[in-house]
Amino acid sequence: MTARAGLTGRSIIAGWDGAGSGESVRAVDPASGQELNPEFEFVTEAAVDAAAVAAGAAFDVYRETSPAERAGFLERIAAELDDRREAIVDRACLESGLPRARIEGEHGRTTGQIRLFAREVRLGSHQGVRIDEAQPDRAPLPAPDVRQRHIGVGPVAVFGPSNFPLAFSATGGDVASALAAGCPVIVKAHNAHPGTAELAGSAVAAAVEACGLPGGVYSLLFGAGRVVGQALAAHPAIKAVAFTGSQAGGTALMATAAARPEPVPVYAEMSSINPQVVLAGAAAGDLEAFAAAYVGSLTLGAGQFCTNPGLLFVPAPAGGLVEAIAAAVAEQTGQVMLTAGIRESYHEGLARLEAAGADRGATGSDGESANAPAPVLFTATAAQVLESPDLQEEVFGSAGLVASYESMDELRAVLEALPGQLTASIHMTESDHAAAAGLVPVLERKAGRLIANGWPTGVEVNHAMVHGGPFPATSDPRSTSVGTLAIRRFQRPVCYQNFPPDLLPDAVRDANPLSLARRLNGEPQL
């Protein structure tokens, strides 16, 4: 392709401009409600097929790139994104309504995680090499030589969310981890930030070209989720799906993937209310500081984080803690939400909490934009939460529910009743540790990340992070969508039995030319 100087409104189909179907979408500035240029042309199903076939054709070449080549490609993507930083940040601010500092931070996180995956690819331990040498003299039968490595599963379809226009989008964590695993990627761009997606996607396309890789390694499609998205997830060349967004969207993709002639795995990150437990000692501390920290996390980014602390358990009586939190919420002003649709859902969520019997404990002020509704605090008892699934369900936005518990038994019972979560926090002092120890096993079963004395917003991108959890937090609790372990989602093991040395892939050769950590006859070796 010829390099794109700016926004064209055209999909990237394996390096070529995608032809439109006649339909299109414009981004909207959520603060003003104004439509933005250009129009983004929706692709046809034929274009989906072209992208998927090209991805399939690119797979064998791309998955056999050496660690140095693949890491170099990832680093080139990061460099291309840095080159486009100003344009990307400008457009992302405009399309998302998020503050510039947040978007600048997200840009840094995006390039940072791509570079982290590049280092991981160079290290190569994700290839999971195991060699069991032949035992020709073993009785009663000789043992064969068996060598295992992990390869990519094949082309991956990625669906990003509205709330991370960079870090989970066209060049986000799912894309980076799939590319690191050796899988071509096709991104269905989110229609709330198509311009951001095109600018970021162009960076990948430029890196593909600069590194001499097949164009099919990366495509970016504009289209309606129900048409283009479903056609993509159903395409036989697609071997895995990664999604971040609503439970309705995620379960629709799970159904599509399960109904294919060849079912494929879906990694959907969906819905989480992230329970926060305040134990007695913590409830007797500096209440105003605690309330300020909680409300800061609750309203961060207009509450539009999958890790938003939607449900806070406090001991009854809480000795002024609820009042302190209510006072802090009342002082908050609404921030611009990502889309008008999300704002409408937020209001529906507030109504749902009220209908389910929660009391409105405090309401902040609406922001200046029509799209910046006030944060709201609700209160209820833990017994009410235990009884009502509506009080256990996420409200996307700055809506907090504070639930008071009468005893540790009651607290444990309501935690047991909650569905799967991304995170759970315990707020405690030394004197609470024995009580906390009794909750940890419950929370381990419920969530992917357990936090002590901290708030769940802000997900560190490192090696140990788990951003995942049981359904409906995600569709697959055996994985994480943040951190280097995310590579594993897009790999499968293959073994080679009694292969002639010249036919073995480098990763499993005796001489270990790639210097990979491996297990030799069961013994771990660095």
Window 57-86: residues binding a copy of itself (CB under 8 A): 59-60, 64
User: Considering only residues 274-293, where is the footprint of a copy of itself by CB under 8 A?
Assistant: none
- Does 144 bind a copy of itself (CB under 8 A)? Our answer is yes
CA within 13 Å, CB half, 125: 11
User: How many residues belong to the chain?
Assistant: 526
The encoded tokens of residue 194 equal 């198509």
Active-site residue flag, 444: no
Q: Which helix (H) or strand (E) holds 380?
A: strand 376-381
Rounded to a whole number of angstroms, the minimum distance from the CB of residue 123 to a copy of itself is 8
**How many CB atoms lie under 10 A from the CB of residue 128?**
17
Span of 71-79, 302-310, 406-414, 486-494 interacting with a copy of itself by CB under 8 A: 486-494
**If binding is defined by CB under 8 A, does position 492 make contact with a copy of itself?**
yes
Residues 185-224 that bind a copy of itself (CB under 8 A): none
Cα 340 to Cα 316: distance, rounded to the nearest angstrom: 38
Footprint on residues 462-481 left by a copy of itself (CB under 8 A):
462-466, 468, 470-472, 475-480
* Residue 306 bears catalytic tag: yes
Site string for a copy of itself, 239-258 (x = CB under 8 A): ---------------xx--x
Catalytic residue among 80, 106, 120, 269: 269
Contact residue for a copy of itself among 46, 444, 510, 513 (CB under 8 A): 444
* Distance of closest approach, residue 343 Cβ to a copy of itself, in angstroms: 29
Alpha-carbon Rg for the chain, nearest whole angstrom, is 24
CA distance 511 to 97: 54
* Chain residues 30-59 in contact with a copy of itself, contact rule CB under 8 A: 59
* Secondary structure E strands in 115-239: 129-132, 146-152, 156-159, 185-188, 218-221
CB of residue 263 vs a copy of itself: minimum separation in angstroms? 6
Identify the CA nearest to 200 among candidates 69, 103, 341, 307: 103
Q: Residue 344 contacts by C-beta under 8 Å, 6 or more apart in sequence?
A: none
Closer CB to a copy of itself, 330 or 520, in the complex: 520
Of the listed pieces 7-15, 122-130, 165-173, 338-346, which binds a copy of itself according to CB under 8 A? Answer: 122-130
- C-alpha distances out from residue 204 to 112, 122, 174, Å: 15, 19, 14
Nearer to a copy of itself, 249 or 468 (CB): 468
The residue with tokens 């069991």 is 132
Structure tokens at 239: 């071997």
Beta carbon of residue 351, minimum distance to a copy of itself (angstroms, whole number): 24
Catalytic residues, by residue number, are 269, 306
